[in-house]
Every structure is written in C-alpha cells, then in structure tokens.
Amino acid sequence: MNDKELIEKAVEVMKQAYAPYSKFGVGAALLTKSGKVFTGFNIENSSYGASVCAERVAIFKAVSEGEKEFDTLVVATGTDEPSSPCGICRQVISEFSNDLRILLVNDKGKVIETSIEKLLPLAFTKDKLEERNKQ
Ligand code: THU
C-alpha cells in the first residue's frame, strides 16, 4: 500500500470517529512491515478519562494481532493544520519500531512527515528497564 492509499484510509476512518463529546474526529492508519494495514479512530466515553485516541486503537489492534514491526503511521484530522499525537500516544508509539515514519495529515491534502525521535526526544524506553535488570 502506498502513502496516498494509506492517507485515504486514515481520512476515511476519521469520519467514523466516535467523538460525541469533543466532536474532534481523529483517524489513524498503520502499515506494518509485513504489509498489513490496521486502522483506528478515537472512541470517547461519557466518563471522559475512559476515552482512547485513534493512534492507540490502531497500534493496539495491530499488536493484539501479533504485529509489532511498523513501517508508517498516518494520523488524520479535519483541522487546517495537521494535528500531532498526544503525549500518551507518543509514548505508546515509542514502544514499537523506532524507524517508523509518521505522516500527520488533514482532510485537505496537507501532509507533514515526522518521526518519533522528533515527537518524543529523550524518550523513556525499554532499554532503560533492560539496563536495570542487568545490574
Ligand atoms: N485524540 C486522538 O484521537 N489522538 C490524538 O493524538 C489527540 C487527541 C482524540 C482524543 C479525543 O477523543 C479528541 O481527540 C479530543 O481530544
């Protein structure tokens, strides 16, 4: 699947977001290194803290299906400027595939390419725990 098709998928699922409270739809499309695509949108809850972001839905769907190596993540919003993942999603993204390409897009065709190194510098990662376990 190419970038254009992956972006189209993210924009398409953004429109199905369950966001009755914020009315802010977010779509995600995640391409695995094995070539599979997992999509997600934000799912809100009347108990606001129980809501989950689009990126985490897509990543957790993939991981729960045995996929942990990711190639590209597209995050789509309907904002004038593409919107960037929240802090919790950045931490979840950083757990998998350091070389993941991240495309932030809007539904008007704007695309910004970034990376987890840029979004979450000096991240707390599993190597720190592995280092501690060796001591
Ligand atoms: N949201 C996402 O789905 N992804 C993000 O990275 C930022 C925020 C959702 C959560 C909530 O449903 C709505 O956008 C407004 O915060």
**Tens digit of each residue's pLDDT (9 = 90 or more) over 89-135:** 999 999 998 789 999 999 999 999 999 999 999 999 999 898 877 87
pTM for the predicted model, two decimal places: 0.96
- The answer to whether residue 55 is catalytic is yes
Atom of ligand 1 nearest to the CA of 19: 12
Residue % of the chain over a pLDDT of 90? 90
How much is the pLDDT for 28?
98
Residue % of the chain over a pLDDT of 70? 99
State the alpha helices, DSSP H only, in the chain.
3-14, 54-64, 87-95, 116-119, 126-134
From the CB of 89, is ligand 1 less than 6 Å away? yes
CA of 130 to the centre of ligand 1 (A): 31
How much is the pLDDT for 4?
98
* Annotated catalytic residue, options 5, 8, 44, 55: 55
